[in-house]
């Protein structure tokens, strides 16, 4: 039996409407480079990564002009309407190359600050796990459940709550099967772990750094720039 290898999938077909920018957030400039270029850099130097699939919208005018678009280690897949559609498209593209037992790490295109130590910790912790899991951070703030009118319903015990991050790492065959099953059932998924959970399995959490920031709003860019400045 061959040793499983590791593939990266980056869904990057979103428009990032909450940023209010003139282009999708993954193409905004972050300290001299685009967000997605910095995201890709998190993986390109890792010796165990066999390849990267980036799911891009068919009419995306920004990706083709980036230098990384010509990198032979990166393959473009058709992006979908929703994140899960883009992930499934990327997995379909990998089908001729990836074995069922290979690992797939799905990572947000707008999460450019993944630390190398976190990536290695995730791989080391899960490479022999039967299910897989995700990077996450424990909830630090007091958590409130709010009703439909915007009023606090109750305070939630935060001791068992974690913030889900990416990458999320699962076997290629298992993830593809669970995502297909979720699509057939019409389930709404916000991450890959949700599909695994819906199939009755229990992904593990691997604690990661809280500065693995997902850029969503304009103020996130300022924070990301500051975080980058602290790493150099």
Whether 52 contacts 74, CB under 8 Å: yes
Residue 85 belongs to some domain of the structure: yes
Instruction: Judge whether residue 95 has pLDDT over 60.
Output: yes
Mean pLDDT of 105-120: 97
Q: What is the pLDDT of residue 4?
A: 86
Does residue 167 have a cis bond before it (omega within 30 degrees)? yes
Instruction: Judge whether residue 1 has pLDDT over 60.
Output: no
On average, the pLDDT of the chain sits at 94
Q: What is the pLDDT of residue 187?
A: 86
Q: What is the pLDDT of residue 123?
A: 98
Q: What is the pLDDT of residue 231?
A: 81
Helix axes 35-44, 116-126, angle to 10 degrees: 50
Residue 135 has φ and ψ, to the nearest 5°, of: -75, 145
Residue 127 belongs to some domain of the structure: yes
Residue 1 belongs to some domain of the structure: no
Q: What is the pLDDT of residue 16?
A: 62
Contacts from 183-187 at CB under 8 Å and sequence distance 24+? 183/84, 183/88
Distance CA 96, CA 85 (A): 19
Q: Count how many domains the chain has.
A: 1
Beta bridge partners of 171: 103
Instruction: Judge whether residue 154 has pLDDT over 80.
Output: yes
> Domain holding 72: CATH number?
3.90.550.10
User: What is the pTM (predicted TM-score) of this model?
Assistant: 0.94
Residue span of the structural domain in which 30 resides: 6-230
* pLDDT tens, position by position, 16-59: 666 666 789 999 999 999 999 999 999 998 999 999 999 999 99
Residue 103's closest CA among 78, 130, 83?
130
Residue 135 belongs to some domain of the structure: yes
Residue 165 belongs to some domain of the structure: yes
The residues near 96 (Cβ < 8 Å, ≥ 6 apart) are none
């Amino acid at each position: 039996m061959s040793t499983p290898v590791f593939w990266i999938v980056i869904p990057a077909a979103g428009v990032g409407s909450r940023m209010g920018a003139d282009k999708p957030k993954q193409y905004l400039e972050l300290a001299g480079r685009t967000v997605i270029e910095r995201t890709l850099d998190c993986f390109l130097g890792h010796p165990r990564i066999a390849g990267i699939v980036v799911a891009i919208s068919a009419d995306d005018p920004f990706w083709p002009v980036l230098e990384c678009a010509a990198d032979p280690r990166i393959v473009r897949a058709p992006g979908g309407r929703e994140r899960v559609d883009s992930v499934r498209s990327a997995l379909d593209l990998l089908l001729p190359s990836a074995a069922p037992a290979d690992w797939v790490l799905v990572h947000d295109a707008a999460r450019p600050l993944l630390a190398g130590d976190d990536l290695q910790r995730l791989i080391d912790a899960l490479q022999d796990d039967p299910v897989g899991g995700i990077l996450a951070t424990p909830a630090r703030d007091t958590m409130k459940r709010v009703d439909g009118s915007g009023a606090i319903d109750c305070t939630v015990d935060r001791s068992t709550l974690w913030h889900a991050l990416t990458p999320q790492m699962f076997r290629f065959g298992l993830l593809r099967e669970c995502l297909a099953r979720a699509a057939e059932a019409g389930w709404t998924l916000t991450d890959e772990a949700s599909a695994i959970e819906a199939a009755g399995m229990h992904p593990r959490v691997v604690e990661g750094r809280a500065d693995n920031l997902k850029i969503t709003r304009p103020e996130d860019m300022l924070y990301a720039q500051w975080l980058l400045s602290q790493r150099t």
